[in-house]
Amino acid sequence: MTSTRPGTVWQAPPESLVLDPGEVHVWRIALDVPVRYVQALSPLLSPDETTRAERFLLEVVRSRFIVAHGATRRILSRYLHTEPEAIRFTTSARGKPAVVATDGAPPVRFSLSHSEDLALCAVARDRELGVDIERLRPVATWRQIADRTFAQDEIQALRAVDEEHAEEAFLRCWTRKEAYSKALGEGITSRWTQFTVSLEPDVVTMVRDDAPAAQAQGPYALVPLAPGPGYVGALAVGAPLVGALRISLWCWPSSHP
């Protein structure tokens, strides 16, 4: 089952954000920002996030981590109607992060992914979701990785791609499998060989997954994302009807940290 791809234009968000049931907002976060942004976002992080940031030896990597997590807090605060530093997170047994619900705050679900100088943060109210982004780059061992981790239909589809576009197709497949695994809270596991995603570049498709646990969670749509030149991205979202998906694409920062 396929449908045409939703819009690929990333826009500045409105002053008043409304996230209705059945809607998904995806934010593209620029990580290489002026120092004032890093300084404004750093105090928002939790002690655990600050400790993780300090483990990075390279300043550019540390700054990107701070911006990705600080911006995510600012973004989520707009939906939760609370201060960014007050947001608390928990993780499932398999490591999937979630916002700790507080009295009076509307529930939200989110997924965060970053690569080099860009990040994506997806937010929804009533459905599970996962997002992934990858910088396009040479992957010398992509064939071996695909043979070891991808489903047979995906391997055959990759072999049919011409050499010039094969690595991009590999990373496109990778982001879709990663996004779906994040939505299920599974991470990268041996089960990657047991479900199939499409390599089609510009259409919304459905994941083929016959596992009983996956069937119990319902169908998942895969939405290709175009984060920017040199990047590929994907959104996996629980959506019984592809045609009913409503996705908005926002940019951060828009005007201020």
Task: Compare 34 and 241 and report the one with higher pLDDT.
Answer: 34
CA distances from 252 to 12, 131, 215, 222 (A): 7, 16, 35, 23
How is residue 230 annotated by DSSP? Answer: T
Please, are residues 114 and 31 in contact by the beta-carbon 8 Å criterion?
Answer: yes
Higher pLDDT, 174 or 190: 174
Tokens coding 207: 């994941």
pLDDT tier at 185 (50, 70, 90 boundaries)? Answer: confident
pLDDT of amino acid 255: 59
| Arithmetic mean of pLDDT over the chain | 88
Residues 49/41, Cβ–Cβ less than 8 Å: no
Over residues 95-121, mean pLDDT: 87
**Model confidence at 5, in pLDDT bands (50, 70, 90)?**
low
Question: pLDDT, tens digit, for every residue of 213-241?
Answer: 777 677 899 999 999 999 999 999 987 55
Residue 63 lies in a domain: yes
In a domain, 196, yes or no: yes
Residues facing residue 90 across a β-bridge: 98
Residue 55, pLDDT > 90, answer yes
Q: Is 7 a domain residue?
A: yes
Residues 6 or more apart whose CB falls under 8 angstroms from that of 15 comprise: none
Q: At what angle do helices 163-184 and 142-149 cross, to 10 degrees?
A: 40
Residue type for 43, please? Answer: P
Q: What is the pLDDT of residue 234?
A: 96
Q: What is the mean pLDDT of residues 148-176?
A: 94
Is 6 a residue whose pLDDT tops 80? no
Distances (CA, A) of 56 to 49, 62, 70, 132, 145: 12, 5, 16, 21, 27
How many domains does one find in the chain?
Answer: 1
Structure tokens at 45: 């992080």
Q: How far apart are CA 41 and CA 45, in angstroms?
A: 7
pLDDT at 257 over 60: no
| Residue bearing the bigger pLDDT, 244 or 55 | 55
Domain membership of residue 65 (yes or no) is: yes
Tell me the pLDDT band of 47, cut-offs 50, 70 and 90.
very high
Domain-located, residue 115: yes
**pLDDT for residue 4 is more than 50:** no
CA atoms within 13 A on the CB side of 140: 0
Residue 257 lies in a domain: no
What is the CA angle 167-173-179, rounded to 5? 135
**Among residues 82, 12, 98, 2, which one has the least CA distance to residue 44?**
82
| Cβ atoms of residues 101 and 120 within 8 Å | no
List beta partners, residue 196.
Answer: 208
Q: What CATH number did the domain enclosing 6 receive?
A: 3.90.470.20
Which residues have C-beta within 8 Å of that of residue 130, sequence separation ≥ 6? 111, 122, 178, 179, 180, 181, 182, 183, 184, 235, 236
**Residue 240 neighbours by CB under 8 Å, 6+ apart:** 218, 219
Give a yes or no: residue 58 inside a domain. yes
Kindly tell me if the per-residue pLDDT of 3 is higher than 50. no
State how far the alpha carbon of 126 is from the alpha carbons of 24, 205, 217, 237, in Å: 9, 20, 13, 10
Q: What is the pLDDT of residue 136?
A: 94
* Residue % of the chain over a pLDDT of 70: 92
Q: What tokens were used for 175? A: 């982001």
User: Are the beta carbons of 220 and 239 closer than 8 angstroms?
Assistant: yes
Q: What is the pLDDT of residues 188-210, one digit of tens each?
A: 777 899 999 999 888 888 999 88
Q: For residue 190, what are the domain limits?
A: 2-252
